[in-house]
Structure 1
């Protein structure tokens, strides 16, 4: 009887945890571009990352802090996973555990097709972040953030430009 109760409790916890985790939408570049450009009322922070990228994982807490500091401000976060679709569950788990603000998508398209469309100066290295203002202008940040304050200050600069 005790095993049945423990098993049932474990299943319930798994269901509850899964309901709190965000489901990753798999998109192509055209869909990603639409998601980014449909946000005209806010600064959009777009971060390209992957679960296998150590610097990406190390800077995720900075985005969580920036999200907390940007509450009640016109800032939206979009995280673009560069993982294979077979690793979608792992990306969802990392995203949920990191308590990141905003939305996460998984870009399922050959990077050679879209990197030049996004930024011809970007070689495809991750982590890679850009901020887009309300007018669609982008500030590219092709390196790892050293601190959360660095990211927060970059967001503040974009908000001031508004």
Structure 2
């Protein structure tokens, strides 16, 4: 600030700084908007990205559950899968939710659905060049039906493609067998 004729003048740099502070919320950058902070983290991925995640999870049994917000059996399966995750907490096990919803539905459908189920861990949304590319890349045994779960052993090898709705006990048995190996 400078004094000029008894008045204080504000420098242009100071004005720009003030404008930027107030402009950041208007651009959507910076802190997430209220209501978004508590939504689950969902990342768009391709099959190659998922394979890299599985490689990094070497030493763990991994269950990848392909689901969608419009799939009633998928919705019915989620509480049992969350119970499974809790039951195997502290063991070398990881649950991954993989949404088959359209990428355009991420904010309006996928995140709210995961929030409804109180999913508190990172999840993913299929985003390959085509649905068929993702389906083929996941398993030759998979025709794209939902729900489908892919069970990987500790070495990252696909051990089972479980097409259709499963119960908690079925998942628990399958995971336990791989953990005991």
Q: Map Cα deviations across residues 95-145 of structure 1 (whole Å, 9 max, x no partner).
A: 122133643111112121132232112111010001111112222211211
Match of 1:37 among 44, 47, 55: 55
The SS at the match of 2:155 is coil
Contact persistence 1:77–1:102 (CA under 8 A): no
Cα pair distance change 1:102/1:154, threshold 3 Å:
farther
- State the TM-score, normalized to the length of structure 2: 0.74
Q: Map Cα deviations across residues 55-95 of structure 1 (whole Å, 9 max, x no partner).
A: 10111111111011111111111111111111102111111
Which runs of 5 or more residues in structure 2 are unaligned?
1-32
Match of 1:98 among 79, 96, 117: 117
> Larger helix proportion, structure 1 or 2?
1
Q: Radius of gyration: which is bigger?
A: 2
For the residues of structure 2 that align with 1:83 and 1:113, how far apart are their CA atoms? 15
The residue that corresponds to 1:136 in the other structure is: 156
For the residues of structure 1 that align with 2:55 and 2:146, how far apart are their CA atoms? 22
Instruction: Provide the aligned length of Structure 1 versus Structure 2.
Output: 146
For the residues of structure 2 that align with 1:101 and 1:149, how far apart are their CA atoms? 22
Cα pair distance change 1:18/1:93, threshold 3 Å:
same
Q: Map Cα deviations across residues 8-39 of structure 1 (whole Å, 9 max, x no partner).
A: xxxxxx83x53232221111221122122221
Q: CA RMSD in A?
A: 1.7
Which runs of 5 or more residues in structure 1 are unaligned?
1-13
- State the TM-score, normalized to the length of structure 1: 0.82
The SS at the match of 1:78 is strand
